[in-house]
């Protein structure tokens, strides 16, 4: 039953995307808002009335202050310097504040943010770097930054230990050595935790292994959901916050190239989220803490809250291919996107179609903090 429902929805979504592309290019992006809001997040594909179709209209990314297409590749390396002991120091400035964001065309959410965006900046460093985070709480509630990784108790960012809760107007510096390498995250740890998490206080924390990973086009994807009516149930699901954004604007990749996704689940209220790729299979590195895959040749992976991992795959043939949660409910409420797999010749056009340029291409191909050293012995090295 689920498969049948998803299949039919997917087909209709495909048709709607074609229609949307034309509308987007004609500049008609202002009218869908209020109708979309009253329609909730139901994808009523049976009507051709643009106002009731969630794929109509565009989110105002400029007003939001972030664009999910850029979020795929906008790694934050911090301010980099070298310590007397030769280690690399990376310093970050993170400010928590309240902000309304648009999570689907015409659907707004009163978020609590790190640096004004949901998810917060994608912090990236190398194993062994000293990471120093200056955290300022400019929000209306106490917050913290709790990192997944190795650190002592004072740096754990939880209530009642070390500095504990950081009150509005207060600040703190968290500092630790980055380890183990992998695909990690950070989030607020103030009680009630599910509310602080769900409001948007989370982000990716990627630690590259010392010798890097093989060259690939890399993306950060964080699965999240939003309870817009505060009933403890999500009304919008997404990858990188804006529902259906990657369906409206398919992500350009090239046929035959290696793609690597740092996938993180921060969906609250639902125990599990998932990722499914169409027309290809991937290797999976659970938590990203190994250099060889923990799952070979799978096309679906599920993650509990805060679970994450790395996907590696190649699309063989040009064309548009879906990716989405395989829970049909999540898919239909926004967690669905497309890859636009282009030939070498067609890649510039694929970028231009969704408002991207060579700079985006460069960032997606050079995300790693360190060059890859192809030493077979590295596979024998422990993660930490
Ligand atoms: Cu908080
Ligand atoms: Cu956590």
Residue 270 lies in domain? 65-367
Q: How many domains is the chain partitioned into structurally?
A: 1
In a domain, 48, yes or no: no
In a domain, 163, yes or no: yes
In a domain, 12, yes or no: no
Q: Which ligand is nearest to the CA of 145?
A: 1
216 C-alpha to center of ligand 1: Å? 35
pLDDT tens digits along 181-191: 999 999 999 99
Average pLDDT of every residue of the chain: 87
In a domain, 55, yes or no: no
Exposure letters 317-346 (e unless 16+ CB within 10 A, then b): ebebbbbbbbbbebbbbbbbbbbbbbeeeb
287 C-alpha to center of ligand 2: Å? 13
171 C-alpha to center of ligand 1: Å? 13
Query: Six-digit token pair at 343?
Result: 């030939």
CA distance 92 to 186: 13
127 C-alpha to center of ligand 1: Å? 27
Is pTM beyond 0.95 here? Answer: no
Mean pLDDT on 320-325 = 98
Question: Phi, psi at residue 345, to the nearest 5°?
Answer: -65, -40
Of the candidate ranges 28-32, 112-116, 188-192, the one whose mean pLDDT is the lowest: 28-32
> Please, are residues 266 and 364 in contact by the beta-carbon 8 Å criterion?
no
In a domain, 193, yes or no: yes
147 C-alpha to center of ligand 2: Å? 7
pLDDT of residue 381: 65
pLDDT band at 383 (very low <50, low <70, confident <90, very high): low
pLDDT of residue 46: 36
In a domain, 250, yes or no: yes
Q: What is the CATH number of the domain that holds 330?
A: 2.60.40.420
Of the candidate ranges 27-36, 254-263, 366-375, the one whose mean pLDDT is the lowest: 27-36
> Please, are residues 244 and 203 in contact by the beta-carbon 8 Å criterion?
no
56 C-alpha to center of ligand 2: Å? 35
In a domain, 32, yes or no: no
Give how far Cα 31 sits from Cα of 18, 52, 223, 375, Å: 18, 11, 28, 56
In a domain, 131, yes or no: yes
**Per-residue pLDDT at 103 exceeds 90:** yes
Q: Which ligand is nearest to the CA of 203?
A: 2
pLDDT tens digits along 294-322: 999 999 999 999 999 999 999 999 999 99
Sequence-distant (6+) residues with CB within 8 A of 40 are: 235
221 C-alpha to center of ligand 2: Å? 17
């Amino acid at each position: 039953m689920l498969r049948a429902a998803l299949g039919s929805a997917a087909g209709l979504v495909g048709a709607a995307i074609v229609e949307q592309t034309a509308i987007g290019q004609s500049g008609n992006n202002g009218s869908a808002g209020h109708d979309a809001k009253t329609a909730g997040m139901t994808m009523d594909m049976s009507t051709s009335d643009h106002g009731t179709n969630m794929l109509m209209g565009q989110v105002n990314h400029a007003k939001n202050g972030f664009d999910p297409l850029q979020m795929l590749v906008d790694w934050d390396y911090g301010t980099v310097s070298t310590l007397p002991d030769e280690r690399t120091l990376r310093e970050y400035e993170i400010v928590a504040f309240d902000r309304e964001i648009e999570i689907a065309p015409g659907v707004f959410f009163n978020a609590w943010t790190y640096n004004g965006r949901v998810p917060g900046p994608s912090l990236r460093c190398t194993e062994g770097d000293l990471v120093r985070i200056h955290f300022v709480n400019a929000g209306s509630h106490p917050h913290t930054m709790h990192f997944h990784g190795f650190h002592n108790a004072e740096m754990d960012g939880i209530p009642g230990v070390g500095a504990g809760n950081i009150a509005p107007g207060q600040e703190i510096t968290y500092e630790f050595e980055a380890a183990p390498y992998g695909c990690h995250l950070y989030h607020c740890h103030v009680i009630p935790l599910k509310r602080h998490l769900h409001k948007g206080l989370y982000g990716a924390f990627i630690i590259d292994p010392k010798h890097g990973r093989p060259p690939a086009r890399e993306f950060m994807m964080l699965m999240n959901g939003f309870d817009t009516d505060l009933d403890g149930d999500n009304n919008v699901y997404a990858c990188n916050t804006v529902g259906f954004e990657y369906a409206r604007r398919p992500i350009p990749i090239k046929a035959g190239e290696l793609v690597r996704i740092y996938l993180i689940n921060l969906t609250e209220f639902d125990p599990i989220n998932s990722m499914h790729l169409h027309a290809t299979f991937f290797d999976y590195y659970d938590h990203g803490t190994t250099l060889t895959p923990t799952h070979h040749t799978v096309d679906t992976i599920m993650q509990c809250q805060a679970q994450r991992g790395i996907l590696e795959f190649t699309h063989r043939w040009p064309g548009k291919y879906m990716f989405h949660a395989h829970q049909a409910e999540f898919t239909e409420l926004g967690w669905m996107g497309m890859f636009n797999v282009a030939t070498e010749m067609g890649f510039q056009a694929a970028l231009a179609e969704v408002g991207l340029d060579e700079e985006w291409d460069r960032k997606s191909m050079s995300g790693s903090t360190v060059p890859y050293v192809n030493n077979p012995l590295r596979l024998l090295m422990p993660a930490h």
